[in-house]
Amino acid sequence: MSVKESKDFKVAILGGGMGGLCLAVGLLKSGIKIDVFEQAEAFGEIGAGIGIGPNGIQALRKLGVLDEVLRISDEPLAMRTFIFKSGLPDHSLIYDYPGMETDLGLGVHRARFLDTFIQLLPPEVAHFNKKCLKVLADDDGATAFFEDGSSHTADIVIGCDGIKSVTRTAVLGKVIEPKFSGTIVFRGLIPIDAGVKAIGPDILDRPHGYMGPNKHIIVFPINSQETVNVVVFSTRTPNADQLGPQSGQPWVIPSTQAEMLSHYEGWGPQVVDLLNNITSPSKWFLHMLDPPLETYVNGNVAILGDAAHGMLPHMGSGAGQAIEDAYILSELLSLPQTTKRNLKLVLKAYDYVRRPRANKVLTRSRDVGEIYEFRGPSGDNQTGIRKDLENMWSFVWHHDLGDDVRTATEYLEEISAQSPSPQHRISSL
């Protein structure tokens, strides 16, 4: 992608995951000068499949990359609402989540999704083996300092550096450590034939959730229905710390089939068949930002994605929220009136619209995990669980991002008019 530069400012993006590369491509399309710094030796994502709901699809379409995502991922858009069943031996139907014809989503392998943005990124803007140690801001911009002794100064620095974000410290003025949620996850991929044999042909078209006391399993197809992604959750309460990582232990480690199966003794045959096909699961210690952050920006520094609202995966909304962040921020930075002089106000407008929504999704994702494991507010009987599950995705999926852009630009005009510094004021938007 080659676009003539149209702005008088430069953006440094720390982190080359989904959020960082979505932002990079959005800014490049508007002719904004960027540099992307990735601590690994190449772009890549940890994990297998991700689900992108209708809100994420809307953001990708507005970013102008949806067709390319579909082409490279070789996945169709489809209505992907869940079938929820009991994980116990009868596998009774708990709730068949209804969907509208417009509720189109995408189940895709992370690597294929990321490939879309890698191919749109000019090689010269990507810098690898750049582990950021700290970010310092001043009145004129911000500087990222890297482990190799180098540094980079830009007019604004955007931290897309994940839940263990270094940039977050520059935004909050203190270290905010993610908290262990009390839940571990075993992950594995199995052939589609094995998934159909265990569950039935419904798995070809609908993701499934198996629910039970303190445990649940999420199952959905990826890779053009060649593979089934199996995500196996186990929560121990109130002694959550007994499940947590030891000091200094990575959050993702190898596990064994025997350890995974030990958490699911007494569950039904569909669950057992699924787990028997996962011979070498990985084990994840799930963390989240709790409580939600009070701001996503500070001066010339901002954060997005997991750095800002690292959430539990129970609504499958983490990727979608990062994509929304990237879209809104790229739109605001691309406004004709956005210049080097008013970048701080533009970042405030980003925070104004994104933080309340993303923090709500973060909190709701935690609550949904409680429902899946029979700890919801309406009780552990099927009637109560169905009540708690009704319309749970509506506020996430059925959201107008165009309204967010309009709200942000109106807020930007308002705070610009109130700014004591004439150089920060902008003409009517």
Q: Which residue has the tokens 């609550």?
A: 367
**Residues carrying an active site annotation:** 187
What is the spatial distance between Cα 259 and Cα 85, in angstroms, rounded to a whole number? 23
Cis preceding-peptide flag for 238 (omega within 30 of 0): yes
From residue 366, how far is each of 181, 199, 316, 384 by CA, in Å?
Answer: 9, 27, 11, 18
> Residue 366 has which token pair?
């935690």
Question: Which run of H or of E encompasses 50?
Answer: strand 49-52
> Residue 378 has which token pair?
């309406």
> Residue 172 has which token pair?
């909050």
Contacting residues for 291 by C-beta, under 8 A, at least 6 apart: none
Helices (H) and strands (E) in the chain, counts: 14, 20
Among 213, 211, 229, 234, residue whose Cα is nearest residue 80: 229
* Pairing verdict, β 126-127 and 33-37: parallel
From residue 345, how far is each of 29, 185, 332, 342 by CA, in Å?
Answer: 22, 40, 10, 5
Among 210, 213, 229, 209, residue whose Cα is nearest residue 268: 210
- 282, burial (CB in 10 Å: exposed 0-12, middle 13-18, buried 19+): middle
Q: Is 11 helix (H, G, I), strand (E, B) or coil?
A: strand
What is the spatial distance between Cα 408 and Cα 233, in angstroms, rounded to a whole number? 38
> Residue 25 has which token pair?
């491509």
